[in-house]
C-alpha cells in the first residue's frame, strides 16, 4: 500500500489547485474537503472567468448536480482549456438517468471533452453504460448485472477511468480493475459525500503519476476517514464535522496501514 500512501504525501506536499465547477448544494463541502486533504480549491463557473482560472489549475472537476445552461457553457469552456493543457478532467454525472436533461448533459460532456475520470454511483454508471439502471433523485441508484463488468466495459468504451462508488468502490481503466472496501454506511446518509469524493479524486489525479492508483488512493483515503469519523459520531449531524477532521488528520502512514485496496 506504500504507493498509495505516497500519493497522499504528494498531495500534501504540492497542494494542487483543483478547479471545481460544481453544484450549489455541496460547493462548500467540496471546497472544505479539498482543503482538508491538503489541496487548494477554487469554485469558479462563469464562462468569462474559467479560461484564466483553468490555466492555473492542476485538475478540473465537473459536477452536474444543479444544472443550468450558463454552468454547462462554463464546463465546456473550462474543459477545452484543460484539454489543451493536458489537465485531468473528472466528471461527476450526478443524477444521470434520473431525467433526460441530466443524462444528455453527461453524454454531451463525455462526447465533447477528453474526460480522464468518471465517478458515479451504480445507477449513474449503469445509465452511461447503457445498462438497465434505476436512478432516484441524485443520491441513490442501482444497476442490473455485474458491477465490475459494467464498469470495465464503460471504461473500455470511453477510453477513460471509471469509478463506480458503493459498499465496494470499483475503479477500472482499459486494462486494470481495482476494488476499495473502505468506508462506513453513515457516509451514504450525508448529502454530498459523492461530490466530495470527486473533489478529492481531482486532487489525487493531479498529484499521481499513475491516475488509476490515484483514484484508488482517493477513495481509500475518504473511506478510512469515514470509518474513523463513524466511531465517534452519534448520527449524520455529528458525522460531518468528524469526517472533515478525520480527512485533515489522515497521514500517509494511516493510508498505508488501513487501505483496503485489491487489484483484480
- Would you list which residues are annotated within the binding site? 43, 119, 165, 192
Q: Which helix (H) or strand (E) holds 171?
A: strand 169-172
Residue 145 CA to residue 94 CA, distance in Å, equals 21
How far apart CA 75 and CA 35 sit, in angstroms, is 22
Please tell me the distance from the alpha carbon of residue 59 to that of residue 203, in angstroms, as a whole number: 7
Handedness of CA 26, 32, 34, 39 (dihedral sign): positive
Which residues contribute to the annotated binding site for ATP?
119, 165
Q: Which of 150, 236, 164, 239 is nearest to 194 (CA)?
A: 164
Assigned C-alpha cell, 257: 496501514
**Cα–Cα distance, 166 to 194 (Å, whole number):** 10
First to last CA, the chain: 15
Q: CB–CB of 43/20 below 8 Å?
A: yes
Pairwise CA distance, residues 210 & 161, whole Å: 11
Binding positions for substrate are 43, 192
Amino acid at each position: 500500500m506504500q504507493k498509495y500512501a505516497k500519493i497522499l504525501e504528494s498531495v500534501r506536499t504540492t497542494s494542487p489547485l483543483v478547479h471545481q465547477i460544481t453544484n450549489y448544494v455541496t460547493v462548500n463541502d467540496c471546497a472544505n474537503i479539498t482543503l482538508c486533504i491538503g489541496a487548494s480549491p477554487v469554485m469558479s463557473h462563469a464562462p468569462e472567468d474559467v479560461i484564466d482560472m483553468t490555466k492555473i489549475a492542476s485538475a478540473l472537476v465537473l459536477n452536474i448536480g444543479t444544472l443550468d445552461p450558463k454552468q454547462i457553457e462554463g464546463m465546456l469552456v473550462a474543459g477545452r482549456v484543460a484539454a489543451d493543457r493536458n489537465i485531468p478532467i473528472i466528471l461527476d454525472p450526478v443524477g444521470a438517468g434520473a431525467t433526460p436533461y441530466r443524462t444528455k448533459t453527461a453524454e454531451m460532456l463525455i462526447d465533447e471533452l477528453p474526460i480522464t475520470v468518471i465517478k458515479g454511483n451504480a445507477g449513474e454508471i449503469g445509465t452511461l453504460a447503457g445498462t438497465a439502471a434505476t436512478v432516484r433523485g441524485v443520491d441513490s441508484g442501482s444497476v442490473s448485472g455485474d458491477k465490475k463488468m459494467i464498469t470495465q466495459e464503460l471504461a473500455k468504451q470511453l477510453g477513460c477511468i471509471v469509478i463506480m462508488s458503493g459498499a465496494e468502490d470499483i475503479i477500472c481503466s482499459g486494462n486494470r480493475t481495482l476494488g476499495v472496501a473502505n468506508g462506513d454506511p453513515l457516509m451514504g446518509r450525508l448529502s454530498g459525500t459523492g461530490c466530495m469524493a470527486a473533489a478529492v479524486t481531482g486532487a489525487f489525479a493531479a498529484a499521481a503519476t499513475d491516475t488509476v492508483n490515484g483514484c484508488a488512493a482517493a477513495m481509500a483515503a475518504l473511506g478510512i476517514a469515514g470509518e474513523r469519523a463513524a466511531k465517534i459520531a452519534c448520527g449524520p449531524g455529528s458525522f460531518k464535522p468528524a469526517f472533515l477532521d478525520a480527512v485533515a488528520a489522515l497521514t500517509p502512514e494511516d493510508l498505508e496501514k488501513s487501505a483496503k485496496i485489491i487489484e483484480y
